[in-house]
Structures are given as C-alpha cells and as structure tokens.
Amino acid sequence: MNIPLNITKTIHDWLFSIMPEGAASIVEMFIIALVYLGIFTVIGLFLVFLERRVSAWFQLRIGPNRVGYQGILQSLADALKLLSKELTGTVKADKFLYNLAPYFVIISALMALAVIPFTKEFHAFDINIGIFFLIAISSIGVIGILLGGWSSNNKFALIGAMRSGVQTISYELSIGLSLLTMILITGSLQLSEIVEVQKNGWLIVQGHIPAIIAFMIFMISGTAETNRAPFDMAEAESELGAGFHTEYSGMKFAYFFLAEFINMFIIAAIAATVFFGAWLSPFGITESLPWLGIFWFLGKTLSLVFLMMWFRWTFPRLRVDQLLTLEWKYLLPINLVNIIIMALIVWLNLTITF
C-alpha cells in the first residue's frame, strides 16, 4: 500500500505505529474520506450562502441575514429543509438511472476535491498525474447530468441534458489545452510539483502574455464547464424551467445544487493552483508560517469564485449556438496558437523568474 495519502504527518505516523500497515492505511483512508466529506459540505453550504450574499450585493438587496450571524447558517437551514422534503419523480422515469444520476455528479465533484492542495501538508491525494486526473474526473460529472435529463422523462430536462452534454464536451478541450499551456512551464502534472515550481514566481507571472491568455480561456471555459451563467444552457431558467434537474426534488436536487457549487470551487482552486501558486504567499512573505498556506489558498480561490459570481450576476446568457461558436471558432484556435507561443517562450527561456 503505497498510496501517497498525507493529510498530516503526525496522524499518519501515529496510525502506522499502533496498527499493522494494511489496517492503518484503510483506517487512514476512512478518516480522510470523512474529513473531505466534511470539507465538501462546509464549502458547498458556505458557497451557497456567499453566492446569495454576493448576488444580493449586486442586486441592491441585503440577502439572507436572519439565521445565525449575518445569516451564515441560512444555507444549513435550507439544506435541512431540502432533507425533509418529499422526493418526487415522474411516473415513467427510468427509476434506476434517475436515482443514480445525482451520485455521478456529486461523487465526481468529491473525487476532484481530493487532489486539491490546500496546503503543503493538507493534500490528501498527490498523484503524479494530478492535472490529468482532475480533467478526467470532471468529465464524469456530465454523465450524471445526461442521465438525469434523459431518465426523468421530461422534454425540458432532455433538452437541458443534451445542451449540457454538448457544452461540457466542447469546453473540456479548452480547459485541457489551457492547462497544457501551463504544464509546458512546469514540466510536471503533479500538483505539488506545479506549486513547487511557482516558488520562483507564480506561473501567471512566469508565463506572462500566453499565461494570461490561458488564464482567461481557463476562466471562461471553467465557467462553462460548471454550467454557470452566462453559460447556464443546461438549466436556462427562462427557457427550460430548470433544465436537467426539473424533475428532481429534495435531497436529490440538493446534490445537483451542491455539486454545482463544489465544481465552481474546484475550477477556482485549479486556477489558483496552476496560475497563482496555490498556498504560496506573494513574494514568500509568510514562508516561515506554513500553516498560513490555507489562508492564502482559500483567499485566492475565493477571489476567483467571486469573479465567477460576478460573471453570473452581470452577464446575460449566451444562446446555445453562440456558445459553440465561441468555443470552436474562437477559444480553440486561440488556445492552439497560445500553446505554440508558450512552447517557444519556454524553449527560448523567455519566462520571468525571480
């Protein structure tokens, strides 16, 4: 058992000292799974609350402010409400797929979370194909959406699911290619190494112009990948009612809802890791205090999350054919040219390092 699980060194060592190796690994896996489930829920609920407050701020409202301090427990209350709601469904739905679909979405989001480097230590699953793993996992989520839309026997849901399929498959290319652009600098797919490289300057600084282009493309396609406005074709409220999750209620709906927010967090976290040096402080000002890494990481991630919320609450929605035009006619060619430029820059040693 040589899985690179290293949530914290102390717990790891302590577990291995009192148990045989196999049992200790399994126990450690359970502990990590529980910890990440906790993180998952907390982040999900917090982002729901944050989105509501941010949107309220954009829309001249106050937003939730009654439950807990400044309404911080509002989304918890909502989650409890959703838990207690009746699970409804259509009569002619394909019951098995209908019930399975939310789990695809939520499990893929949860799996992706495991690879995110919160700090140097707090990084559960540091595999050598980290970025590749993230891209692969994030494309599983779309299966859940497709299944949910297909199996709920509702034409609006089906249209939403088909749109989502088209959209995710297209924009995955851009996500992959824009990350590939950055990997040309790091020379590694492993997230810890990508962070390590950035001790000489964040990649967005190291790669300067092509890196900024790649960052912009990543944010655009990342927003599209998470099905958020202005790319919320799959659940376009004014067109399709609720899109693929029209027929879901209660906790199953909450799974889709939570997964959307977790996916947003993951996209922002990848961007923070690849472009902004994850838990590294700017110019190494808090290098002596490694536990502050979590502060920097969350700070960067939440700023990017805020950026995505900003998109959502200001832009109108694209039409489905415009969405594909944007990807295939603009983002993809720009991306390919960008990779060549980045390759030249790396080859000619034109990167900026401190």
Q: Which residues bind another protein (CB under 8 A)?
A: 55, 58-61, 155-156, 159, 229-230, 232, 236-241, 313-322
Which one, of 226, 231, 232, 323, lies nearest residue 270 by Cα? 226
Q: Which two tokens stand for residue 128?
A: 């050598």
Q: For another protein, which is the closer residue by CB, 25 or 154? A: 154
CB of 327 to another protein, least distance (A): 15
Say whether 222 sits in a helix, a strand or coil.
Answer: helix
User: How far is residue 262's CA from residue 251's CA, in Å, rounded to a whole number?
Assistant: 16
114 backbone dihedrals φ, ψ, rounded to 5°: -65, -25
Nearest distance in Å: CB 56, another protein = 9
Instruction: Identify whether the C-beta of residue 89 lies closer than 8 Å to the C-beta of residue 258.
Output: no
Distance of alpha carbon 152 from alpha carbon 173, whole angstroms: 29
Residue-wise DSSP of 87-143: ----TTS-HHHHHHHHHHHHHHHHHHHTT--SSSS-BS---TTHHHHHHHHHTTHHH
Nearer to another protein (CB atom), residue 20 or residue 316 = 316
Nearer to another protein, 159 or 346 (CB): 159
- Whole-angstrom distance, CA of residue 177 vs CA of residue 170: 12
Residue 114 or 157: the one with the smaller Cβ distance to another protein is 157
In the complex, the smallest distance separating the C-beta of residue 234 from another protein, rounded to whole angstroms, is: 13
Between 52 and 300, CB nearer to another protein: 52
| Residue 78 beta carbon to another protein: minimum distance, rounded to whole angstroms | 19
The amino acid occupying position 207 is G
Which CB atom, from 47 or from 309, has the smaller least distance to another protein? Answer: 309
How far apart are CB 253 and another protein at their closest, in Å? Answer: 17
- Sequence-distant (≥ 6) Cβ neighbours of residue 352 within 8 angstroms: 201, 205, 206, 208
Beta bridge partners of 123: 6
With respect to another protein, which residue has the nearer C-beta, 132 or 313? 313
Residue 145's nearest CA partner among 161, 156, 168, 157 is 161
